[in-house]
Amino acid sequence: SEIPGEPTTFCETMGKADIWLIRTYWDFDYPRPFLPNFVFVGGIHCRPAKSLPQEMEEFVQSSGEHGIVVFTLGSMIKNLTAERADVIAAALGQIPQKVLWRYAGEKPKTLAPNTKLYDWLPQNDLLGHPKTRAFITHGGTNGIYEAIYHAVPLIGIPIFADQPDNMSHMKEKGMAVVLNFNTMTTLDLVDALNTVINDPRYKENAIRLSSIQHDQPMTPLDTAVFWIEFVMRHKGAKHLRPASHSLTWYQYHSLDVIAFLCFCLAVALYIPIKCCMYCFRRCRSKLKRKGKKD
């Protein structure tokens, strides 16, 4: 069937947006100027924790006063090389906490009794559990905001995309220790876990960021709903759109301004040069005529 309309590009489609819903907030991001059609809804997916499945709750309760550590590298990474998995499993076996690890690969040879593997974890519910002491994460935005929402310190093992930058934010804000996935050793991970769990500053910073996240006039979800309905009520939000979206590519990059300035500079140089050349020729012709008379 024929598709109506004219072909367009991704950039053109993005330029038609009246409102941008940004999945961060000032607990995560750094202060900087933004346009009026940028609305921050970081933590839009976060919610209070629900009860865990019975078998999982029993394992969590068996941790006693030491609590638990939640470990997942996201939905895109379900298994690791045997060498990396053994390094991680050996480190997890050296801490007194129980560990719930989302891992679908071959069982590591160094897996300790305190660590249990799961194909899937109710991440938000585990982070909101009172026995959770730390969260080992790849640094995805969803996981970071759930950790902020529930005030859980982080051990970051970023792998690709925005993850290294996300974890650098958390490290700068004093809520995380960051490790290199390819070079970290068993001792590195053990030290990071002990630091985050036993140093009270990490928990204090997590509580501070969590209080900022919760202290908003509306929840991020309600904020997003309001602005979506705002655009619908007013048939768009053109009054919030910057004029840059209506500029041509050469106007956007100020090429027309640069061309005009170059023209002015050329004229400013051309006129004095021509005047000097004219004066030089006049003087030269006078000298020649004088020489002939002599």
Q: Alpha-carbon distance 143 to 74, whole Å?
A: 8
Q: Alpha-carbon distance 100 to 69, whole Å?
A: 6
Torsion of CA 85, 91, 97, 103, to 10 degrees: -10
Query: What are the sequence ranges of the domains in the chain?
Result: 10-42+220-240, 54-214, 251-291
Torsion of CA 254, 255, 257, 263, to 10 degrees: 160
**Token representation of residue 93:** 């076996």
Say which DSSP state 107 is in.
Answer: P
Q: Alpha-carbon distance 272 to 118, whole Å?
A: 80
Are the beta carbons of 44 and 256 closer than 8 angstroms? no
Q: Alpha-carbon distance 213 to 25, whole Å?
A: 8
Q: Alpha-carbon distance 55 to 120, whole Å?
A: 13
Q: Alpha-carbon distance 17 to 225, whole Å?
A: 16
Q: Alpha-carbon distance 1 to 137, whole Å?
A: 46
In CATH, what number does 54-214 get?
3.40.50.2000
Residue 167: what pLDDT?
95
**Token representation of residue 226:** 């309001």
Are the beta carbons of 69 and 95 closer than 8 angstroms? yes
Using one digit for the tens of pLDDT, what is the confidence trace for 180-191? 999 999 999 999
| Selection from 96, 193, 202 nearest residue 147 by Cα | 202
CA 239 vs. chain centroid, Å, equals 28
| Selection from 152, 160, 206, 157 nearest residue 179 by Cα | 157
The parts of the chain modelled with pLDDT lower than 50 are none
Q: CB neighbours of 41 closer than 8 A, spacing ≥ 6?
A: 21, 22, 23, 25, 220, 221, 223, 224
